[in-house]
A and B are shown apart, each in its own frame.
Chain A
Amino acid sequence: MGKAEEAKKLGLTDEEYNLIVQTLGREPNDVELGMYSVMWSEHCSYKNSKPLLKRFPTKAPHVLQGPGENAGIVDIGDNLAVVLKIESHNHPSAVEPYQGAATGVGGIIRDIFAMGARPVALLDSLRFGELDDPRVKYLFGGVVSGIADYGNCMGIPTVGGETYFNDAYKDNPLVNAMCVGIIRQEDIVRGKAQGVGNSVMLVGAATGRDGIHGASFASEELSEESESKRPSVQVGDPFMEKLLLEACLELLKEKWVVGIQDLGAAGLTSACSETAARAGTGIELDVALVPRREKGMTPYEVMLSESQERMLIIVEKGHEEDVKRIFEKWDLYAVKIGEVTGDGMLRVLENGKVVAEVPAKSLAEGAPVIKREGKRPAYMDMQDLDYSKIEIPENLSEVLLQLLASLNIASKAWVYQQYDHTVRTNTVVPPGSDAAVLRIKGTKKGIALTTDCNGLYCYLDPYEGGKQAVAEAARNLVVTGAKPLAITDCLNFGSPENPEVYYQFEKCIEGISQAARILEIPVVSGNVSFYNESCSRVIFPTPVIGMMGLLEDVTKHCTIAFKNPGDLVVLLGENTDELGASEYLRVIFNIQGGKPPRVDLEREKRLQLCCLKAIEKGILSSAHDVSEGGLAVAIAESCITGNIGFEGEIMSDIRADALLFGEGQSRIVVSLKEENLPALIELADKEGVKAAVLGRVVPEYFRINIKDSKGSCKKIELSLKEMAEVWSKSLERKVER
C-alpha cells in the first residue's frame, strides 16, 4: 500500500497528506504519518471549528487565562484564582461506558492540576437514550459507576451536573466532565517547553498499548465497527492519578519547573508538540527511555499510546534528581526522556537513531482549517405548532405528577448519591439545587457551579437554544447569590461534514456568543466534540455550558427550598404564552416541536441583577429558576426540597397549560418573609423587573388556582407526600427495575 493510501486509511485527506509532504519536503515515514493523523484529527486540531470559536467573547479584566491552554483561569480576588475546563468523552463511553467515563474524569482532572491548581470540584453533564432500552440502561449504569469510582477515589467532590434522557442520544450518549480548581495566582504554571537545553521528563504511569488512535476514533461517526474500537478506550487507575496529583502539586511549588502538560488524546505526540509549539521551541526525545508496561512496543505505539495518568514535565537542566526525589516519595517514576531544542522540530529517537522528525508547530497547529458552509435544516421550517388544536387536559394535578415523574425533571439523587459530594468539607449547597455552592477555606468567599443545556431547544432553534443555555446557566448561579464570572463550553454535535449539522453548530455558537456578550460572561475554555451520530440518528445539537460564579460572602447564599410557613411566594419576571419544546408537550402529548422559548437578554440581565441584589440584601428565604416543566414544577420543587407546601392563586389570560407548564424564560420563583415584600418590590421596580405575589408557603399541601378574566377557573391540588414520592423515586424505580 502506498503512503498516500495509508494516510487516507488513517483519516487524512489528500489535501492534508500533500501538505505534510510539502512541509517535510519528503514522504513521511510510518511513525510520522501516525503522529500527523492523530494531531490533525478533528479531536486534536479543531480544524472544523476553529474559525467559529473565535466569535466567543473571551476577554474581561478578571480573565487570567483564556482558551488555548490546558484550562481557563479567572481572578476571584484575595490573590486567588479559579481554574476551569469541561471536556467530552462521548465515543469511549459509547463502547466501554465504565472506562470511557472514568478516564474522561481522569483527563479533565489532569487538565486542572496541569495549571498548578488543586482540583476542588467535578461536575458531569450526561445524556442518554430512554431507559426502557436495555443497552441504554447498561450505558447509563456503566457511566455513573465509572464517574463514581474515579472521582470518589480521587477525593474530589462531584457536586453537580445534569442528566437528560432522550432518544436522540440512544446510540451516542454524551459524557461531559467538568473540573474546577483553586490556585494562588503566583503558583500558576503553563504548558510551555521553554529554555533550550532544559530537560523533558515523563512522570506517572508506565506506557502501554492502550488508547492508540483514541483521538482518531473520537473524530468519526459511531458504526457497527465501533465495538471493535474498544481497544481504543483507555483504562483508568484513579489511585495512580491521586499519587500523580499529589506529586505534581508538590513539584509545582518549585521555581525551577518550567512547564507541565497532561498526556491526553494523542499521548506523547500531542504533549511534546503542543508544549514546544506554544514556546516556539523543539523537543528531542528517545522513546527507548520511556518506561513501558508491555514489551516490544514500537516507536509508533509509544508515541501514540493514550495510557492514562501520565504527565510531561519540563524542568531547568540540573534539577532532574530533585524531580525524582519528589516522585519517589509518592512511589512514582520520573524519567528524563529528552530535552528542549532550539530548532522547532519534534525529533523522536529510538536508542539514538532518528525515527521521526517533524516541525512541532506544523504538528500541533498546522492542520489546514476546513471552511464549511451550513445549510438551514429543512425540519426547522416545519416546526410551527398550532396550539389551539391541543386540548388542555382536564386534570392538571395529574399532569403535574406526570411531569414530576419525568426523568428529565425528577430528582437525580440515584446518580449523585453514588458520587462523594461532601469530601474536602467545602460543599455548602450539595447537588439537587440549581447550582452547587462551595466555600473557599481561609476566605469569606464561595463559588457556585453549574452545567446547562437543553438539546431539544437547540435542535428546534440552534440560535435561541445557544442563547438560552447561557442565560439559564447564569440564572442558576444567580439564584444561589453568585455573580457569574466565566464559561467553559463543551460543544457536542454530529458530523460537521453534514451542512445541516454545521448550520446548527454555527448558530449555537452565535447564540452563545450573543448571550455571553450581553450578560458579560467570557468564555475561558472549552472543547468541541463532533461526529456524535450513528447510521440511524444524529444527536441533538448540545452545546453544554459550564459556568462558575462568585459569592463575596458565602454565608449569604440562597437555596431553592421553601423554608418557613407563612412566607410569601413571588414570581420575578413575566409569564409568557409559550409552550414550544416543553417537557409538558413531550411527556403528555409526545410532541417534540414548536418554537423553543425565547430569551430577551436585556430583560434577563435585569432579572438576574434584581435577584442578586435581593439575595445580597438578605431579604429572600429561597430562590429557584423556572426551567423544564415551567412554573408549576418550579414551585413544586421548592416545596419538595423544603418539605413544605404552597397555596396560591394566579390571575392570567394565558392558556392554563402554558401558564403552568410552559417554559418561558427569565423567571425566578422566590419566597420571603412578608415584611420584606416592600423592599423586594422597590428593588424590582428600580431594576425594571415585574414582581407578582403567587401565594404563600403552607404546611403539607399544594394548591394552585388559576383564573382568567372571563371567570373560568382551573386548579392543581396535591398532597406534598404524593408529589415528593414520584419526584424522588421515579429514576430509582426505572433503573432498578
Chain B
Amino acid sequence: MRGAVIVFPGSNCDVDCFHVWKDVLGQPAEYVFHKEKFSPEDFDLIILPGGFSYGDYLRAGAIARFSPAMDSVYKAAEKGKLILGICNGFQILLEAGLLPGAMMKNRDLKFHCHDVYLKVGTADSPFTNMYLPGEVVKMPIAHGEGNYYADADTIERLKREDRIVFYYSDEKGNITDEANPNGSVENIAGILNEERNVLGMMPHPERCAEEILGNTDGKRLFMSILEYLEGRVKIGKSRRS
C-alpha cells in the first residue's frame, strides 16, 4: 500500500515515518516535498510527520497549512484517503481545520520527552483496529505544544461519536491528572475526524515499532492501517451503513 510522507522544511520525523512504513511494514513509501502537489489517487496513506514544519516560531503548524502539498492533503482527505498526523502533524491538522480544536503550549511550558501510557479510546478506526478498546499501551512523546483544547460541545461530540483514539493514562488505565503530561483537556492524546479517515495524535508510534528500540506498541498502529487498507477489517461508518 502506497504511503507518502510530507516533508515540510522543518520536519524531522519524516525519515522515521518513512522507515517504519517502508522497512518495518515492507510497503512502498515516498517523500512529498511541501512545495509539490499530488493527486488523491497517488497514495493510500499520507503521513504528516513530527518536527517544526516552518520553524513554528509563530504557532505550531500555523504556516504549514498554506503549503502546496497541504492543498493535495485536503483533497485526499475528502476522497477518504487515510491521513495520519503525528505530533507536529497533529498540530498542522488542527490548524488546517481537518480536525477540531487547538493546541497550546504544555501547561508547565516545558518540552516533554519520555514514555507515556495511553488508554485506547476506540479500536473502531483504520488506525487502531489491532488494539483492544480500553487496552493500555506505552509510547514516547516529544513535544512542547501538546496541550489539546476544544470547547465542551466539541468534546461532547467527539465522545458521542467515539472519536477519541487515545487518552493519557497511568499504567493501569486510570485517566488521572498525574498521568497527563501536558494539560490536554480530558487527557486527550489523539482524535479522529468525523469520517474516521484522519487521525491526529501527539505520541510517536513510529518510535516504538521495533524490538531493538525496546517497545513495539506503536507497530500495531501501522499494522492496523495495513489491515484496513487491504480490506481485512471494516470500521465505523462503513460498518454502520
A residues bordering B, Cβ < 8 Å?
145, 148-149, 152-155, 237-240, 242-243, 246, 329-331, 413, 416-425, 427-428, 439, 441, 554-555
Contacts and interface: CB of A to CB of B under 8 A. Distances in A.
A155 B112 contact: no
A40 to B, nearest CB: 37
B207 interface: yes
A149 B55 CA distance: 11
Contacts of A243: 9-10
Contacts of A240: 55
Interface stretch (B69-77, B146-154, B208-216, B229-237): B208-216
Given A155-B12, A425-B19, A420 B51 contact: no
Given A422-B142, A554-B212, A242 B19 contact: no
Given A152-B144, A239-B57, A422 B113 contact: yes
A153 B212 contact: no
26 contacts: A152-B111, A152-B113, A152-B142, A153-B52, A155-B12, A238-B52, A239-B56, A243-B9, A246-B9, A329-B33, A329-B35, A330-B9, A331-B9, A413-B114, A418-B110, A418-B113, A420-B113, A421-B113, A422-B140, A422-B204, A422-B207, A423-B50, A425-B210, A441-B19, A441-B23, A555-B212
Contacts of A154: 12
Contact of B10 (A239, A419, A425): A239
B132 interface: no
Nearest to A437: B212
A663 B135 CA distance: 46
B111 A423 contact: no
Given A421-B113, A424-B16, A428-B212, A239 B52 contact: yes
Interface string B76-120: 000000000000000000000000000000000011111000000
A237 B208 CA distance: 30
Contact of A242 (B10, B57, B111, B207): B10
A123 to B, nearest CB: 15
A419 B213 CA distance: 18
B12 A242 contact: yes
A152 B146 CA distance: 15
Contacts of B111: 148-149, 152, 418-420
A430 to B, nearest CB: 9
Nearest to A144: B110
B213 A428 contact: yes
B183 to A, nearest CB: 16
Interface in B199-241: 204, 206-207, 209-210, 212-214
A411 to B, nearest CB: 12
Interface residues of B, number: 35
Given A145-B110, A417-B114, A423-B207, 15 more contacts: A148-B111, A152-B113, A153-B55, A153-B56, A155-B11, A155-B12, A239-B56, A331-B9, A420-B142, A422-B204, A423-B12, A423-B16, A427-B213, A428-B213, A555-B212
B25 interface: no
A152 B214 CA distance: 22
B54 A239 contact: yes
B144 A155 contact: no
Contacts of B35: 329
A209 B181 CA distance: 40
In the A-B complex, list the 8 residue pairs whose CB atoms are closest, starting with the nearest.
A155-B12, A239-B55, A420-B142, A425-B16, A153-B52, A418-B111, A420-B113, A422-B207
Contacts of A422: 113, 140, 142, 204, 207, 213
Given A425-B19, A425-B207, A439-B212, A418 B12 contact: no
A336 to B, nearest CB: 24
A419 B11 CA distance: 17
Contacts of A417: 112-114
Given A417-B113, A418-B111, A420-B111, A242 B213 contact: no
A527 to B, nearest CB: 27
A149 B15 CA distance: 20
User: Which residue, B55, B144, B210, B212, has most C-beta atoms of chain A within 10 A?
Assistant: B212
B13 interface: yes
Interface in B12-51: 12-13, 15-16, 19-20, 23, 33, 35, 50-51
A183 to B, nearest CB: 16
A290 to B, nearest CB: 23
Contacts of A425: 16, 19-20, 206-207, 209-210, 213
A410 B214 CA distance: 24
Interface in B159-176: none
A329 B113 CA distance: 31
A581 B114 CA distance: 34
A717 to B, nearest CB: 28
A255 B19 CA distance: 28
A242 B9 CA distance: 8
Contacts of A421: 113
B112 A418 contact: yes
Contacts of B13: 155, 423
A153 B10 contact: yes
Nearest to B140: A422
A496 to B, nearest CB: 38
Contacts of A416: 113
Nearest to B210: A425
A423 B214 CA distance: 14
Nearest to A239: B55
Contacts of A148: 111
Nearest to B110: A418
A239 B52 CA distance: 8
A672 B56 CA distance: 48
A331 B35 CA distance: 11
A142 B226 CA distance: 45
Contacts of A554: 212
User: Which residue, A240, A420, A427, A441, has most C-beta atoms of chain B within 10 A?
Assistant: A420
A555 B210 CA distance: 12
A327 to B, nearest CB: 12
Contacts of A152: 52, 111, 113, 142, 144
Nearest to B181: A417
Contact of B214 (A155, A242, A419, A428): A428
Contacts of A418: 110-113
Nearest to A246: B9
A424 B14 CA distance: 9
A420 B114 CA distance: 8
Nearest to A736: B108
A419 to B, nearest CB: 6
Contacts of B54: 239
B29 to A, nearest CB: 14
A246 B12 CA distance: 11
A441 B16 CA distance: 11
A329 B54 CA distance: 14
A564 B53 CA distance: 44
Nearest to A331: B9
B193 to A, nearest CB: 27
A153 B143 CA distance: 10
Nearest to A330: B9
Contacts of B206: 425
A155 B214 CA distance: 21
Contacts of B204: 422
B198 to A, nearest CB: 24
A148 B109 CA distance: 12
Contacts of B112: 417-418
Contacts of B23: 441
A246 B112 CA distance: 25
A330 B144 CA distance: 25
Contact of B113 (A153, A239, A419, A441): A419
A420 B16 CA distance: 14
Contacts of B113: 152, 416-422
B216 to A, nearest CB: 12
A424 B140 CA distance: 13
B6 to A, nearest CB: 15
Contacts of A428: 212-214
